[in-house]
Amino acid sequence: MSADTVQNYGSHVRWLPAYHFFVIPVLALNFLLAAVTLARTPSVTTFWTALVALVLGLGAFLARVMALTVQNRVIRLEETLRLERLLPGRYHEFERITAPQLVGLRFASDEEVPHLVDRILSAELVSKDDIKRAVQHWRPDHLRA
């Protein structure tokens, strides 16, 4: 997604075509074919081939999970610093906001943050999806993993 693209709730999901539409399908098909071959002609070689296919797919999945975990940690830090700047004196309340809620809050404009934080703390907005849907003035994030 280019920096010029307007983001909103309906368009903010990022697809990496090479990963989502090439790497993952090829690895899934590779495992499926290796599993079928193992079932039809079991041997040490076909077992090893199926195991390697499974490990390759698992490796690709875990690489994505690790990248998203690091991204979420960075977002948590950025949003905590942002809350300190926008809501001075309320730091003791921020620990009640979960990491997923901070992930949802990152799309809110600075003007919306105080009201959204109040709604989060009152349990009116619980999930990151609830928070993203409540954002009226979207602050785009074009640097997502």
For 90-141, what is each residue's pLDDT tens digit? 988 988 999 999 999 999 999 999 999 999 999 999 998 999 999 999 888 7
Tell me if 105 is assigned to some domain.
Answer: yes
Residue 24 within a domain: yes
Cα 143 from Cα 140, distance rounded (Å): 9
User: Has residue 76 been placed in a domain?
Assistant: yes
- CA atoms lying within 13 Å on the CB side of residue 36: 6
Confirm whether 43 is domain-assigned: yes
pLDDT above 70 as % of the chain: 90
Does the pTM surpass 0.85? The reply is no
Predicted pLDDT at 15 = 74
Domain count along the chain: 1
95 CB neighbour count, 10 Å cutoff: 8
Residue at 96 is within a domain: yes
In-domain check, residue 1: no
Give residue-wise pLDDT tens across range 14-30.
678 898 899 999 999 99
Range of the domain at 38: 17-134
DSSP 87: S
Report the distance separating Cα 60 and Cα 20, nearest Å: 11
Tokens of 24: 């993952």
What is the rounded distance in angstroms from the CA atom of residue 139 to the CA atom of residue 132?
11
Strand (E) or helix (H) holding 119: helix 113-121
